[in-house]
Structure 1
Amino acid sequence: MSANEARGKIRGHNPLIGVDVARLEAEMVAYHQWLDERADEAYIIAEEARKKGYDHKEYVEIPRAADLAGRTEKLLIEYLEGYEVADDIRLLLAEHDRETTSIMMAQSVARGFRERGYDLVTAIDVGLRVGLAVLTEAVLVAPLEGISEVRLLNNIDGSQFVSVHFAGPIRAAGGTAQALAVLIADMIRRELNIGHYQPTDPEVERVKEEFGLYRGNLQYRPSPAEIDEIVRACPIMINGESTERIECAGYGRVRNIDEPRIRGGVLLVIGEGMCLKAPKIQKHTERLSVPGWDFISKFAERGKEKETEGKGQVFKSRKVPTISKFMKDIIAGRPVFGAPLEAGGFRLRYGRARPSGLAAASTNTASMLAMDDFITIGTQMKIERPGKACAITPSDHTEGPWVALKDGRFLRLDDAPSFAAIRSKVGSIWDNGELVIGYGEFMENNKNLVPAGYCDDWWASDLIEEIPNEKEVVNLLTMLGLSRSDAPEGAPGIHPEDAEDPGDQFHVRRHWHEFLRHQRPTWEQAKAIAVRYKTSLPPPHNPWFLDLPIEWVPGVLTMLEDAVIEQAGTVNSQKIEIEDGLNALPKPESRQLRIIGGVQGWNAEAMDVLRPETIEDVEAYTIPGQELRPIEPIFGGETPEAWTLIQHGMAKGMAMILGLAHHHDGEDLVITSGWPAVLEGFGFSFEGDQPLRIVDARARFEARIEELKQAHLVLSEERKRLDELQRARATVRIAAETDA
Structure 2
Amino acid sequence: MNEGEYRALIEKRFQEAYRVAVEARRRIGSPTPEVEVLLAKDLAERVELLVGPKGVAEKIRKYFGKMSQERLAFKLAEELVSELRGKLSEEKLILQVIRTCLAVMTPPCITAAPTEGIVDAKIKRNQDGTRYLAVYFAGPIRSAGGTELASIVLLADHVRRLLDLDRYKPTDEEILRFIEELRTYQRKVSRFQYNVPEDLIEFVLRRLPVEVTGMATDRIMASSFRDLPRVETNYLRGGALRVVNDGIAGRAKKVLKLVEELGLEGWDWMKEVVERMKNLANDDEQSYLDELVGGRPFISSSNTFGGLRIRYGRSFSTGMQAVGLHPITLRILEGYLTTGTQLKLDYPGKGGIVSPVDSIEPPVVLLDDGSVLKLRSERDLERAEGKISKILFLGDILVSIGDLIENNVEIRKPGYCEEWWAEELKEKLVEAHDLPNDLLEEARLSLEDPIRRRPSVEKALRLSFSLNLPIHPEYLPFWGNVSVEDLEHLRAWIRRSVKTLKISDGQAILPYDERAKRVLTSLLIEHEVFGDGVKLPLSWFKVILACLKPFSDQMLEGDDIFSAVEKLSGIPQRDKAGSFIGARMGRPEKAAQREMSPPVNVLFPIAEAGGSSRDLMAAAREGRKVAVELAARKCGRCNTITWRERCQECGLPTTLIGFCAECGLELEYSEEATCPRCGGKVSYSRKFVVNVGEELYRALKRLSEQAPSRLKGVKGLNSVAKIPELLEKGVLRAKYGLYIYKDGTIRFDSTNAPLTHFTPRQIGVSVEKLRELGYTHDVHGRRLESPDQVLELKPQDIVIPRKAAEHLVKVSKFIDDLLVKLAGMEPFYRMKSIEDVVGKLIVALSPHTYAGVVGRVIGFTDALACFAHPIFHAAKRRDCDGDEDSIMLLLDPLINFSRLYLPGRVGGRMD
Equivalent residue for 2:525? 660
**Higher RCO (CA-CA < 8 Å; seq separation 6+):** 2
1:61 pairs with 36, 51, 57, which one? 36
One-letter amino acid matched to 1:427: S
Equivalent residue for 1:267? 241
Cα contact 1:348–1:437 (8 A) shared by 2 = yes
> C-alpha separation between the residues in 2 aligned to 1:128 and 1:394?
43
Equivalent residue for 2:340? 378
Equivalent residue for 2:375? 413
One-letter amino acid matched to 2:82: R
Higher strand proportion: 2
Equivalent residue for 2:435? 475
> C-alpha separation between the residues in 2 aligned to 1:287 and 1:47?
47
2:291 pairs with 321, 329, 333, which one? 329
> C-alpha separation between the residues in 1 aligned to 2:352 and 2:386?
30
Q: For the structure 1 residues 208 and 701, does the alpha-carbon distance in structure 2 shift closer, same or farther, using more than 3 Å as the test?
A: closer
Cα contact 1:454–1:538 (8 A) shared by 2 = no
One-letter amino acid matched to 1:697: L
Cα contact 2:315–2:357 (8 A) shared by 1 = yes
1:157-189 CA distance string (max 9 Å, x none): 222211111222211652332021110111111
Q: For the structure 1 residues 536 and 60, does the alpha-carbon distance in structure 2 shift closer, same or farther, using more than 3 Å as the test?
A: farther
1:690-713 CA distance string (max 9 Å, x none): x324332277689x99xxxxxxxx
Structure 1 position 322, deviation (Å): 5.2
Cα contact 1:364–1:415 (8 A) shared by 2 = no
One-letter amino acid matched to 1:66: K
Cα contact 2:507–2:535 (8 A) shared by 1 = no
Equivalent residue for 2:136? 165
Cα contact 2:489–2:516 (8 A) shared by 1 = no
Cα contact 1:405–1:425 (8 A) shared by 2 = yes
Cα contact 2:123–2:132 (8 A) shared by 1 = yes
Cα contact 1:113–1:123 (8 A) shared by 2 = yes
For 1:54-133, what aligned pairs fall within 5 Å after superposition? 56-76=31-51, 80-81=52-53, 83-115=54-86, 117-133=87-103
SS in 1 for 2:124: strand
One-letter amino acid matched to 1:151: K
Could you tell me which runs of 5 or more consecutive residues in structure 2 were left unpaired when the two chains were aligned: 565-911
Structure 1 position 274, deviation (Å): 0.8
Equivalent residue for 1:255? 229
1:457-489 CA distance string (max 9 Å, x none): 2222332344459x96x836523786x9xx67x
Structure 1 position 265, deviation (Å): 1.6
Structure 1 position 98, deviation (Å): 2.0
Cα contact 2:362–2:394 (8 A) shared by 1 = yes
Structure 1 position 368, deviation (Å): 1.9
Equivalent residue for 2:361? 399
Matched, 1:697 2:556: yes
Give me the identity figure in percent.
28
Q: For the structure 1 residues 667 and 42, does the alpha-carbon distance in structure 2 shift closer, same or farther, using more than 3 Å as the test?
A: farther
Q: For the structure 1 residues 463 and 201, does the alpha-carbon distance in structure 2 shift closer, same or farther, using more than 3 Å as the test?
A: same
Cα contact 2:134–2:211 (8 A) shared by 1 = yes
Cα contact 1:542–1:674 (8 A) shared by 2 = no
Equivalent residue for 1:223? 197
One-letter amino acid matched to 1:241: M
1:663-689 CA distance string (max 9 Å, x none): 1222322232545445555xx32xxxx
Q: For the structure 1 residues 70 and 356, does the alpha-carbon distance in structure 2 shift closer, same or farther, using more than 3 Å as the test?
A: farther
Could you tell me which runs of 5 or more consecutive residues in structure 1 were left unpaired when the two chains were aligned: 1-25, 306-320, 489-511, 572-589, 599-625, 627-649, 686-690, 706-740
Q: For the structure 1 residues 118 and 459, does the alpha-carbon distance in structure 2 shift closer, same or farther, using more than 3 Å as the test?
A: same
Matched, 1:188 2:159: yes
SS in 1 for 2:9: helix
For 1:638-653, what aligned pairs fall within 5 Å after superposition? 650-653=515-518
Higher helix proportion: 1
Cα contact 1:343–1:431 (8 A) shared by 2 = yes
Equivalent residue for 1:728? none
One-letter amino acid matched to 2:88: Y
Matched, 1:528 2:528: no
Q: For the structure 1 residues 221 and 112, does the alpha-carbon distance in structure 2 shift closer, same or farther, using more than 3 Å as the test?
A: farther
Equivalent residue for 2:119? 148
Count of aligned pairs between the two proteins: 556
Matched, 1:210 2:181: yes
SS in 1 for 2:528: strand
Cα contact 2:106–2:147 (8 A) shared by 1 = no
Cα contact 1:111–1:192 (8 A) shared by 2 = no
Equivalent residue for 2:268? 294
TM-score of the aligned structures, taking structure 2 as reference length: 0.56
Structure 1 position 552, deviation (Å): 5.3
Moved more, 540-549 or 146-155: 540-549
For 1:4-43, what aligned pairs fall within 5 Å after superposition? 27-43=2-18
Q: For the structure 1 residues 58 and 328, does the alpha-carbon distance in structure 2 shift closer, same or farther, using more than 3 Å as the test?
A: same
Cα contact 1:106–1:131 (8 A) shared by 2 = yes
1:493-535 CA distance string (max 9 Å, x none): xxxxxxxxxxxxxxxxxxx733444332244422332344343
Equivalent residue for 2:21? 46
> C-alpha separation between the residues in 2 aligned to 1:195 and 1:668?
83
1:429 pairs with 351, 366, 391, which one? 391
> C-alpha separation between the residues in 2 aligned to 1:415 and 1:70?
52
> C-alpha separation between the residues in 2 aligned to 1:465 and 1:34?
48
Cα contact 2:249–2:277 (8 A) shared by 1 = no
One-letter amino acid matched to 1:127: V
TM-score of the aligned structures, taking structure 1 as reference length: 0.69
> C-alpha separation between the residues in 2 aligned to 1:441 and 1:565?
54
2:534 pairs with 654, 657, 669, which one? 669
Equivalent residue for 1:239? 213
Structure 1 position 323, deviation (Å): 4.8
CA RMSD of aligned residues (A): 3.2
Equivalent residue for 1:592? 508
One-letter amino acid matched to 1:547: N
Cα contact 2:425–2:469 (8 A) shared by 1 = yes
Cα contact 2:71–2:262 (8 A) shared by 1 = no
For 1:491-502, what aligned pairs fall within 5 Å after superposition? none
Q: For the structure 1 residues 232 and 54, does the alpha-carbon distance in structure 2 shift closer, same or farther, using more than 3 Å as the test?
A: same
> C-alpha separation between the residues in 1 aligned to 2:498 and 2:46?
71
Q: For the structure 1 residues 652 and 100, does the alpha-carbon distance in structure 2 shift closer, same or farther, using more than 3 Å as the test?
A: farther
Cα contact 2:478–2:523 (8 A) shared by 1 = yes
